């Protein structure tokens, strides 16, 4: 039987005896005989193959904390607000912005997901799953998100420093709510408020795919982190109607790619949003920005599914331009409006849309997620601004 041995390299300190007999413990300059610091991978694999430790190479490389930490210098994160709220500072990078040099909606959603995981990470509760705690791993449970609401008041620009706060709270007996607040690090301007609320988080058995009650050991793990603060106040949940193939915009035969899958081998929820928004014409997207999105998740989607994206505009949401109200009561020919440059001030686009992603099946279609989006016209650039 073949055996694998691996040497464990340890940093050493060179000593020399001075003429007066004292010992010099100062590290010596690098030479052919000096021992250099080993790479992280060397240490990781050495520990991984050491029978005396239970840590794997992956755990060593990730440096997952097993106890609550107050700061994370590598992720620019820290625990604030009495030890329950997580705050992370990020810089909007060049590949996270669109043609108008502002962060894309996908960037915002990715930041929400990343900071939520980092919150669990710094709490010392992260197990071996995608945000699952140690108790959840022992019970073979994963989180299932059923509803999410994101409000986008403004968008950060390229290079801007953003602070993201996130925290959790109870939602019924078996659910959990998570909230976020994104704001400018320097001005304090709020960019985004988001919540997963009212039974939005539930648990599912990873093997049976059935919903599960929250075990007491899991509740004991996460309940010390609960707070009643809410980022989005909602009195009633808005109903999202189901669409069919007769909707105005339909994009069929969408196939998930390998890079669309998350660590649970399901399509990432940010990809869902991209599929939804891609059904809206580019002409509309050029002049409008997303200001609100509500998502109601129905089931998961994997790489073998064929997806259809359906979108229906709300014709009642056609805006009425304030500059044209003076024409109320008058009947002007289109040529007069066009000749005076007034026709372009009318916005022919609705500002609210209903969405549906569904899996196309041989016998029946299965819903993945329902959505509702609200939009605002983009601000016109000033002559003195490049944004």
Give the C-alpha separation, 39 to 46, whole Å: 11
- For residue 266, indicate whether it is catalytic: yes
Instruction: Specify whether the CB–CB gap between 43 and 36 falls below 8 A.
Output: no
Q: How many residues does the chain have?
A: 387
Q: Identify the active-site residue in 149, 268, 301, 311.
A: 301
Bridge partners of 195, per DSSP, are 149, 179
Q: Identify the active-site residue in 110, 140, 251, 264.
A: 264
Instruction: Specify whether the CB–CB gap between 252 and 334 falls below 8 A.
Output: no
Q: What angle do CA 101, 106, 112 make, to 5 degrees?
A: 110
Q: How far is CA 300 from the centre of its chain?
A: 17
Q: How big, in percent rounded to 5, are the helix, strand and coil portions of the chain? A: 25, 30, 45
Q: Could you tell me the two tokens for 95? A: 């590949």
Q: 159: exposed, middle or buried (C-beta count within 10 Å: 0-12, 13-18, 19+)?
A: exposed
Residue 240: which of 187, 189, 283, 298 has the closest Cα? 298
DSSP E strand stretches across the chain: 16-17, 23-24, 71-72, 77-80, 85-91, 141-145, 147-152, 161-171, 175-184, 190-205, 211-212, 249-254, 288-297, 307-313, 352-359, 366-377
Bridge partners of 71, per DSSP, are 78
Q: 160: exposed, middle or buried (C-beta count within 10 Å: 0-12, 13-18, 19+)?
A: buried
- For residue 264, indicate whether it is catalytic: yes
Q: Identify the active-site residue in 266, 268, 311, 355.
A: 266
Between the CA atoms of 66, 70, 73 and 75, what dihedral angle is there, to the nearest 10 degrees?
Answer: 70
Phi, psi of 36 (to 5 degrees): -90, 155
Count H helices and E strands in the chain, helices first.
Answer: 8, 16
Residues annotated as catalytic (active site), given as ranges: 264, 266, 301
């Amino acid at each position: 039987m073949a055996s694998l041995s691996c040497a464990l390299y340890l940093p050493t300190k060179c000593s020399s005896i001075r003429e007066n007999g004292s010992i010099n413990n100062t590290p010596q300059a690098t030479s052919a005989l000096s021992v250099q610091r080993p790479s992280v991978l060397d240490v990781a694999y050495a520990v991984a193959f050491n029978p005396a430790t239970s840590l794997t190479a992956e755990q060593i490389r990730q440096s997952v904390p097993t106890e609550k930490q107050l700061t994370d210098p590598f992720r620019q994160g820290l625990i604030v607000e009495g030890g329950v709220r997580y705050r992370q500072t990020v810089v909007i990078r060049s590949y996270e912005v669109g043609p108008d040099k502002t962060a894309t909606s996908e960037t915002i959603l990715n930041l929400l997901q990343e900071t939520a995981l980092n919150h669990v990470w710094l709490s010392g509760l992260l197990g071996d799953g995608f945000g699952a705690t140690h108790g959840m791993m022992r019970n073979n449970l994963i989180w299932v998100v059923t509803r999410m609401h994101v409000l986008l008041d403004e968008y950060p620009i390229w290079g801007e420093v953003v602070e993201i706060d996130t925290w959790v709270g109870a939602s019924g007996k078996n659910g959990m709510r998570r909230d976020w607040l994104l704001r400018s690090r320097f001005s304090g301007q709020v960019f985004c408020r988001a919540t997963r609320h009212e039974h939005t988080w539930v648990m599912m058995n990873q093997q049976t795919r059935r919903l599960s009650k929250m075990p007491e050991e899991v509740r004991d793990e996460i309940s010390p982190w609960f707070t009643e603060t809410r980022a989005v106040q909602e009195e009633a949940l808005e109903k999202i109607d189901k669409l069919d193939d007769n909707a105005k915009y339909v994009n069929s035969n969408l196939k998930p790619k390998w890079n669309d899958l998350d660590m649970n081998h399901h399509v990432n929820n940010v990809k869902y949003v991209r599929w939804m928004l891609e059904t809206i014409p580019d002409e509309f997207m050029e002049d409008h920005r997303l200001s609100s999105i509500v998502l109601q998740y129905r089931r998961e989607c994997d790489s073998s599914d064929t997806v259809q994206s359906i979108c229906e505009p709300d014709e009642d949401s056609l805006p009425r331009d304030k500059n044209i109200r003076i024409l109320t009561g008058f009947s002007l020919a289109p040529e007069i409006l066009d000749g005076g440059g007034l026709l372009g001030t009318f916005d022919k686009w609705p500002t609210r849309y209903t969405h549906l992603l569904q899996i196309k099946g041989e016998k029946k279609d299965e819903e993945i997620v329902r959505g509702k989006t609200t939009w605002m016209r983009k601000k016109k650039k000033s002559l003195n601004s490049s944004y």
